[in-house]
Every structure is written in structure tokens, then in C-alpha cells.
Structure 1
Amino acid sequence: MGLVKRNNIWWMSFTYEGRQVRRSTETSDKKLAEAILSKIRVQIVEGKYFEKPKEDPYTFSQLMDRYLKEHASRRAHYRRYVNMVTNVKAFFGNPKLSQITPKTIVAFKAKRYADGVMPATINRELAMLKKAFNLACREWEWAKDNPVCRVSMEKEQNSRDRWLTEQEEARLLMAAPAWIREVVTFAINTGMRRGEILALTWAGVDFTRRTVTVFKSKNGERRTIPVNQTVLELLSHKYEQGRGQRGIETRVVFCSKASTELDGSNLRRGFTAALKAAQIEDLHFHDLRHTFATRLVQAGVDLYKVQRLLGHKSPSMTQRYAHHYPESLRDGVEILDRGKTFSTNLAQRPFAPTVAM
């Protein structure tokens, strides 16, 4: 039982009848807030406390619309949030917020599974719902309970380990149109995500330092990536071509013939068509990022460098690639031999452990 200050207002947090209750004291005066909290304590002890019912004027659509406007609009991949909101609206409709219960959320999960949606996608939609209800409870005072907190997340299958072989890469680049070929080559040699590639601007390209900069990554952070000669030549060619044809009218590096930003769905369709023409199966665009990481590890690059290049927040996310180069572990045991000398006789003598009597 205590006080927490939010937006200059003191809030009470306490347990009532086995349920966590958060109530605003509606004051910025700490002493007054403490007095109100003490009164509530006495009422609970005496059994005289009854939580005041709140009006429920807000609807689910209002919640989702405000979430998009005030929260998602400031995040990377805004379109992804829009798609998720569209999906949940299509299922829940526009009831009062109090009508969204754990039971209805479980039904939503079942419907998404019936639609063939993967667990990872369902989890992202649940996380979005949870955040929206948290805002409604803690900041907007639209609701007093978050029903998503009482629904379990789904177990994700993260064991996919598909990457492009050199033979498949050659076939893909030969079958793909020029614009797809450029994006694929760039992805394989930088490990950048699809959204990061499509959002890359010429302001983020530094030919002198041989780097590209992602100003807002998936984690919302800035990341600078060194590029190899293949990518440098690709970017130089695109820059010269663009300057000669349209004076670099577009900010983005990879654009359409009309100098407009490429849409993720257009890239997906073009990439899928190229895979079909090259007779390559079971490959996603994100697997190009796996290809980048796998080839680095197979070449002996240590996992810390791979982690930094991929922009992973945790080493555990990069550890999945460790099995591609087990020989890298040999250095760890051979270091024990340094500085040791072994006589020929000792080396040839059979090893017999000492048995304690």
C-alpha cells in the first residue's frame, strides 16, 4: 500500500479483496494524498471500504484510435501498428472497455490461430493490447483494470534457421529484376531488417567512413553499420545514377521508378515472384538477415561482433548462430596448453588414473 506520483498527481496503490487497485487521490499535495491513503487504510481494516464504480463512457475503438495517435505514431514501423489495430478491431468491434475480458481475449487468440496466424504475430498483437490498456488505466484514467494481464502469451517457435546458399543466391540474383537484385544484395551484405532498408536515406550514407546509419531501429535506437566493398559500389552506383537522372529528388536510397518510397507489401510481392522464378522454396525476406549472420559465423567472426552488427540487445539472441562454427570453441581449450611442455615419454605413456585405496 503506497503512493506513486504520475503527471504531478499522487496515486494510491493497494490490494482490496485480492485485487490490485490503483486510484488517483486527485491532488498534487503529498500530505493531503497521505491523509487520503490513511483514511482508505482505516476503511479497509473496518470493512467499510467499497470501491466507487466508475462510469464507462469509453469504447474499444476510442482506445485504439488514441493509442495509434498518441503512442504508436512515435514508434518505428507505424504501419505495423496500424495493421495490428485493424486486426483487433475486426474481431472485438466497438464494445465498452469493461466488456473486453480475459474470456474474449482468449477467443481472439483462438480466432487468430484459426486464421493461420503464427504465435509470434499473436504475441505482438497481445503486447499491443496490453500496452493500450496500461495507458488507459495508468495515464488516461479510462479503465481500472487491464484484462490482457490475465491472459498468457503464446509459446513461440524460434527454431527457424534458414539461410541462402551461394548457389541459391546466384539463381535469385539472376532471376530477379534490377530493383529486387539491389535490395537483396544490400540485405545479404549488411544484415539490416526490411524496414530499416526501406527507410534508409542518403543522409544516413557516409561514403568517406564507409558506413550506413539506421536512425531509428526496431529497438528505437540509432545504429551505424560498416559496409563492405560490394555495398559501397552498389550505393555509389545508385547515387551517381540518381544524380544523373533526377538530381536525387528522393530522400530514400531504395525507391520506385517514380522516386517514391517503396512499400513493404510491394517488396514482398516482388521478392516472392523472384523466388518463384529462381525455384527457391521456404525462404522469407528476413532469412537474408540470417544469411548475413550465418556467413559471418561460418567465417569465424566472433559472436560479439555479429551481435553488434545485427543490433541485438542481448547476446542470447545471437547465440542461435553459434552452432554454425563449433571450431571457434577450440581456442577456448587450446589456451590451456600454452606454456606447458610435455616429455615424449610422458606423452606416449598410457594414462592410468590413481585409484584411492
Structure 2
Amino acid sequence: MRTRTNGIQLLRNGERSVDKQYRGQRIFERLGNVSQAEAEDWLKQRQAAVDAQHANQLREGDEQLFAAAAAKYLTECQQRGVRTLETISYHVQILLPYIGGMRLRDVCNDSLEAFKDARVTEDGVKNITVNRSLEVVRTVLNRAARVWRTNGKPWLSTSPLIEMLDEKGQERPPRPISWGEQAGLISRLPAHLQRMVLYTVNTGARDDNVCGLRWDWEVPVPELQRSVFVIPSEHYKGKRPHVQVLNDVAWSVVQECRGMHDDYVFVYRRERVKNVEDEPVMPYDRIDTMNNTGYQAARKAAGLVGVRIHDLRHTFGQRLREAGVPEEDRALLLGHAIEGMPQHYATSTIARLVDLANSVTQTRDRTTLLRVING
């Protein structure tokens, strides 16, 4: 039954619902056992939200809100298949309460002071983490000034300077682990993380490249009776393809992973502790990051609280140096960008790099001295 307000209905059970077309949008909700006044207040709030949305859609150029510009940027990242989309979305999400409702022309270095202060003093994050968010702001503003147009005119006439916080004073030196520490850590890890850690300390691969390693990146090298993985440029930090060379340990880890998943090399599934024979068997899924609760618990139990996932990469690099591997070959194995670096190697080159990567197993512990030097 219709009430005195168009769009609000009183149902037979005494509850009220809203079903109204407003500015081209349908507003529908079952409100339950509420009064007519409460239903009218709810409808007014929803209409006000539609009004605000409509007004924002009519904004042009520097009148656009930062929230709308950030949404446009995220859409573009999704269309381009940007591998860090989830991370960018996170930074946008934490920025919106501070500058989401601001017009683009009002977003500047000063308008970000409250955000920076809250992240550093209240959330306790480091400057490098705050800077990752500021880089997102800078990118959005740059695209508004250089790329996005309305009626042929840029959204912003110029992009304001967004100053980064100082990171050097907070940089932490690398913390490679010794062979003994490696054994203590791995013995406390679940099987799937054991494989990933072993792969990392024997290839120097980054966390996202280990977690995202795909079988369709595998390239067999029949003469060596093994394979390499060619990581595409869109999935590699340097924005270029990288040939991941595997020593004997890394190769054995990969062989152990075969058959678990059609797409990803490193996967995980929760194993049943009872009714283990029951169907269906739980499927394997991709692991988003090695730095999960399993790794953190094992790290703590092994007395290695300060050891980050990236320190496993540092460990491989240090062992290459200790084995006397030349700097240029270390750069090839670690995937550092150097001028004239080839993106695909001849079989003879791969064979030599495999031998060099295997040399890390012959090194002795010198990490204690390195930690003393670094403080």
C-alpha cells in the first residue's frame, strides 16, 4: 500500500519498503519494521547520495574529485594488466579518507600532511611505506595534467610537486642468513614454504616472482636436461624479461612441485587431519606471499625475527660473492639491470651460469662478520 511519500510502501505485515526511480536510478530496499518518518529519512539520505554522485559526474577538469581520478587510474591499471594493481588499490583506499573528497586542484603537498603524520605517528610505518602512497598520488596528478582530457583540455594545467619523505635515515642494511640459520628456519617451516625458501636462497628470486612463478614460463634446455624460467617483462620489477637460471637445488625443488597445479609452480592446500580419504580432495591454490603467518612463526621460533623475505635474496647474492662469482655474472643471476644485458642466453651461457649458481653450495659462513660490520 502506498503511503504519503511516493516510493514508500506499507506492506501487509506492517513493514515498509522503498521502490523509487530517482534521476535515472532505482532506489530499492526492504526497511523492515520502521516508522514512516524513519523511512522518509532513509529515502532522503539515498537521494542526497544520488545527487552527490550526479554532481560529481558533471565535474570537469580540476573540479574532478581525487576519488574519481583515482578510480579512473585503477581502471586503467586493470585494463593494462598491471601486476601491482592490488597494491595500488590498497594505497588508494588508505588515501581516500584524507584527500578523496578534494578537488584535484586542491590536492598538493600541504594537503597530504595529515595523511603523512597519521601514517608515521599513529600507524608506525616507515617513510618508505608512506612514499609508496605518495607515489600513487603523484601518478594520478601527473596523468590528470598530461594524459586525461575533457573537451581537449587537460584536467590539470600542471601537476603540483609532491615531496617524498627521507628514506635514507631509516634504511636497514641487508641481513643475509648463515647456513646454520637457514637449516634452523627451514626445519620449522611447513613443506610448501620449505620449497619456496630453498628456491629463493638458490636463485635470488623476489617474493612476487616466486609466488607467481608459472609453468608456462618454463623453457626446456634439452642439452642440460633441465629448464629455465623466462619471467615476462610485465611481471618483473625491471619491466624487462628475466631468465631465471636454476642450480641443482632449485631444479630439484621445481621437480618436486610438478603435477600439483596446472598454472603455478608453488601452491598450497590445507591438508585434512581426519577423514583423509574422503572426496573431494581439497584443491591447491596460489600463495600470495611467502611472508605469511607460517613464515613469521617459523622465523620467530628460529630466533630470526629481523630476517625479511628479501634477505633470502641477499643471502644468495652474498654466497655468490663468497664463491668468487664475477660481478657481471652475479648481475645476470640476480636479474639486475646492466647495459647491454641479453634477455635470452645461449645454451653455453646457461650452462656456465648453472655452474656458477651451484657454487653457492660450496661457500662457508661469513655472515657473522658481515653483520658485525653492518652493526
Contact kept in structure 1, 2:200 and 2:206, CA below 8 Å: yes
1:133 has 2:145 as partner: no
**Inter-partner Cα distance in structure 2 for 1:104 and 1:219:** 32
Other-structure match for 2:90: 83
Q: CA deviation at 1:191?
A: 0.5
> Which residue of the partner structure matches residue 113 of structure 2?
106
**Match of residue 307 from structure 1:** 331
Report deviation, 1:150.
4.8
58 and 292 in structure 1: CA distance in 2 versus 1, 3 angstrom threshold: same
Match of 1:288 among 305, 312, 330: 312
Instruction: Name 1:60's counterpart in structure 2.
Output: 66
Task: Give the match's secondary structure for 1:224.
Answer: strand
Q: Does 1:279 align with 2:279?
A: no
Q: C-alpha offsets along residues 52-93 of structure 1, whole Å, 9 cap, x if unaligned?
A: xx8643111111111111136532222211111112123323
Contact 1:137 1:144 in 2 (8 A): yes
Paired amino acid for 1:122: V
Residue aligning to 1:160:
173
One-letter amino acid of the structure 2 residue matched with residue 155 of structure 1 = E
Asked whether 1:256 is paired with 2:268, we answer yes
> CA offsets per residue over residues 152-196 of structure 1, 9 Å max, x none?
442334441201111110011111110110110011111111001
Please say which of residues 172-181 and 198-207 is displaced more in the overlay.
Answer: 198-207
Unmatched segments (≥5 aa) in structure 2:
1-59, 149-153, 270-282, 340-365, 368-375
User: Is this contact kept in 2: 1:180–1:267, CA < 8 A?
Assistant: no
Quote the Cα distance in structure 2 between the aligned partners of 1:233 and 1:124.
37
1:61–1:238 Cα change, 3 Å: same
C-alpha contact 1:213 1:225 (8 A) present in aligned 2: yes
C-alpha contact (below 8 Å) 1:126/1:153 kept by paired residues: no
Post-superposition Cα deviations, 1:267-290, rounded to whole Å, max 9, x if no partner, equal 422210111232322111111111
* Equivalent residue number for residue 237 of structure 2: 218
Deviation at 1:314, TM superposition (A): 5.4
Task: State the 1:305 CA deviation.
Answer: 1.5
CA distance in 1, matches of 2:162, 2:102: 19
Q: Is 1:269 aligned to 2:293, yes or no?
A: yes
Amino acid aligned to 1:212: F
- Per the alignment, residue 187 of structure 1 pairs with 200
Higher relative contact order (CA 8 A, sep 6+): 2
3-state secondary structure, aligned to 1:145: coil
Instruction: Kindly indicate whether the alpha-carbon contact (under 8 Å) linking 1:204 and 1:213 is maintained by their aligned counterparts in 2.
Output: yes
TM-score for both structures, normalised by structure 1: 0.66
SS of 1:94's partner is coil
Shift of 1:110: 2.2
1: CA distance between counterparts of 2:86 and 2:166? 23
Partner of 1:227: 246
Identity of aligned residues (%): 26
Structure 1 pair 291–137 and aligned structure 2 pair: CA distance change class (3 A): same
Q: Residue 338 of structure 1 aligns with which residue?
A: none
Instruction: Identify which of 70, 79, 82 aligns with 2:76.
Output: 70
Distance (whole Å) between structure 1 residues aligned to residue 287 and residue 61 of structure 2: 46
Deviant stretches of 4+, over 6 Å: none
Q: Which amino acid aligns with 1:235?
A: V
Query: 2:303 & 2:263 partners in 1: Cα distance?
Result: 34
Letter in 2 for 1:88: L
Do the aligned partners of 1:61 and 1:94 also contact (CA within 8 Å) in 2?
A: yes
> Aligned pairs, how many?
255
Q: Which amino acid aligns with 1:303?
A: E
> Gaps (5+ residues) in structure 1?
1-53, 243-247, 316-323, 326-357
What's the counterpart of residue 257 of structure 2? Answer: 238
CA contact (8 A) 1:164 1:288 kept: yes
Question: Cα 1:305–1:158, aligned 2, differ >3 Å: closer, same or farther?
Answer: farther
| RMSD, aligned CA | 2.3
- CA spacing shift, 1:217–1:134, aligned 2, 3 Å: same
